[in-house]
Chains A and B, each alone.
Chain A
Amino acid sequence: MTTPADDAVAVDRVSKNFGSTVALADVSFSVQRAERFGFIGPDGAGKTTLFRILATLMAPDQGRARVLGRDVVSDLWTLRARIGYMPGRFSLYPDLSVDENLRFFASVFGTTIEREYQQIAPIYSQLEPFRDRRAAALSGGMKQKLALCCALVHRPEILFLDEPTTGVDAVSRREFWDLLDTFKQSGMTILVSTPYMDEANRCDRVALMQGGRILAIDTPQAIADSFDRPLFAIRASDRYRALKALREWPHTHSVYPFGETLHYADKRTDVPADRIATEMLAFLSSHGFDDASVERTAPTVEDSFIARMGAPEGVRAA
């Protein structure tokens, strides 16, 4: 067991309200050095507020947060030079060129692009062909890379990336995560938030967030495995009608579309999975789904998230 002082981030019962809106409710967690830690959750989960607090830009109402062993409120000036922060909203100067933006951020921290070249090279090399282009004229993916470059230029020990891949297409998202992989060896701690459940697998550990609370913290595999019922993938040519039919089946615990299939979990915990599958096939074929197929499937982080969100109407039957 490491002591709290060794942790890159230690958050203890932090709460933050805006008027009557609860942004963070009694949040606690810690992140180890060199760990890549993801916050997965929808808009309004509290991710941005949490990142602002950790980046020393906002004080919590209650609780304490330490980054690199320093308090984010009382030690903010010493901390700021040691952390890199990439806000969710594009916050560079649109009228400045790629190079001008980068030079500006370097100069704020008393350094230069040349001195830090080694550090930023993996990203900067991709931006160099556009070095004279105004930031406003960059594509979404390139803007994200420039913002990351600016957050890195002073060699921070820890990086806070708030939704770096939101609104970016699937290919650019993948490239961005590949880019983060290049920092693995350097030992930098990275905290990153995302609304995309599939990105959980690119992190060492993740926290699932919803409504200002942390629902779970663990490795992506452990979170996926925590889904506590046999899960089935159902294929049928008329998926929407099959979904509606299954909602009427008395044994349905949950059923929802998942990619090209429906994911189904049964209420009964004492019935073997193969018998559930057989019964379900019989049920589907009696409802006219002769082409349906049912097979066991491994739960994903998204299945686990849905299960932990509680029981909103519409998706879950019963």
Chain B
Amino acid sequence: MNEAPAIVVRDLTRKFGGFTAVDRITFEVHAGEVFGFLGANGAGKTTAIRMLTALLAPTSGQAMVAGHDVYREAEQIKCDIGYMSQRFSLYEDLTVRENIRLYGGIYDLTDRQIHDRTTRMLAQLGLEHAADQFVRAIPLGWRQKLAFSVALLHEPKIVFLDEPTSGVDPITRRQFWELIYEAAARGTTVLVTTHYLDEAEYCDRISIMVAGRIAAIGTPGELKKKFDASSIDEIFVRLARPAAASEARK
């Protein structure tokens, strides 16, 4: 890959008082890659993502996101990235169309752009019939797909997805991943977190955070070879809770 990496992180650290939430992590995400950012609850994923999305200043270390420095160019980063989480994605008491319009306005798109992209997006998702319905009235699976498309509305270089498929049925989960693949095929870089470890297999590369550090990074195939494991789940358990794993082996 000749293109500049989408994300370059060197010794990135964040402390909260005496607690080191993220401890000198170093990694790169290639442009157009689907990167799975895994870790147990409390391993530091959310803190790391907040630094990469320029919402939280690092304590030390460097990070370049879409070519911008997280310390000095927070606003440029926000223009060049999209973000979607399971917890909050869309305004439930606005219609589908109003949500798209709102995000378009926030990202400073022209009326023409908003109009064209709304039309295109609704057609792609097959949601034309629901354009004027309140978001709370449409099924969760559709809402998640819509939220993803809205996160891509301003055509960001990188999109951060925080547990996008939580609680979603197995078919919608797979449809969601197809949207991810399509976005990646168009050149968008995707960084995604998930608790469904079968989804780790859908990523080009993954990292596993343990206690603030990156304990493993590579393609799913490389990691399985390296850890002599049959699944990512097995590696995850071994790394995330060494004590529990040894307990289980007894």
Contact = CB atoms under 8 A, between A and B. Distances in A.
A71 interface: no
A195 B167 CA distance: 6
Interface of chain B, main secondary structure: helix
Nearest to B177: A257
B237 A259 contact: no
A17 to B, nearest CB: 15
Contacts of A257: 174, 177, 201-202
Interface stretch (A39-47, A99-107, A127-135, A265-273): A39-47
A240 B177 CA distance: 10
B229 to A, nearest CB: 12
B175 A314 contact: yes
B167 to A, nearest CB: 4
Contact of B195 (A45, A168, A313): A168
Contacts of B167: 42-43, 166, 195
B67 interface: no
B166 A314 contact: no
A171 B195 contact: no
B40 interface: yes
B171 A171 contact: no
Which of B126, B178, B240 has the most C-beta atoms of chain A within 10 angstroms of its own C-beta?
Answer: B178
A233 to B, nearest CB: 12
A199 B167 CA distance: 13
A56 B113 CA distance: 52
B39, B167, B170, B185: residue with the most chain A Cβ atoms closer than 10 Å: B170
Contacts of A240: 178, 181, 185
A215 to B, nearest CB: 11
A315 interface: yes
Given A44-B139, A167-B195, A140 B170 contact: no
Nearest to B169: A42
Interface residues of A, number: 37
A166 B236 contact: no
A175 interface: yes
A315 B241 contact: no
Interface string A158-200: 0000000011111111110000000000000000000111100
A293 B231 CA distance: 18
B60 interface: no
A47 B139 CA distance: 15
Contacts of B244: 171, 174-175
B174 A169 contact: no
Nearest to B182: A240
A141 interface: yes
Contact of A169 (B40, B140, B170): B40
B218 interface: no
Interface string B192-220: 00011110011000000000000000001
Given A42-B169, A175-B244, A256-B174, A140 B41 contact: yes
A139 interface: yes
A174 B171 contact: no
B55 to A, nearest CB: 21
B168 interface: yes
Nearest to B163: A167
13 contacts: A42-B140, A44-B139, A140-B42, A167-B166, A170-B237, A171-B237, A171-B240, A195-B166, A240-B178, A305-B169, A306-B171, A309-B170, A315-B174
Given A139-B42, A312-B175, 11 more contacts: A42-B167, A42-B168, A166-B166, A169-B39, A170-B197, A171-B40, A171-B240, A171-B241, A172-B41, A313-B126, A314-B171
Closest 8 CB pairs of A and B: A42-B169, A43-B167, A260-B201, A169-B40, A140-B41, A259-B198, A314-B175, A171-B241
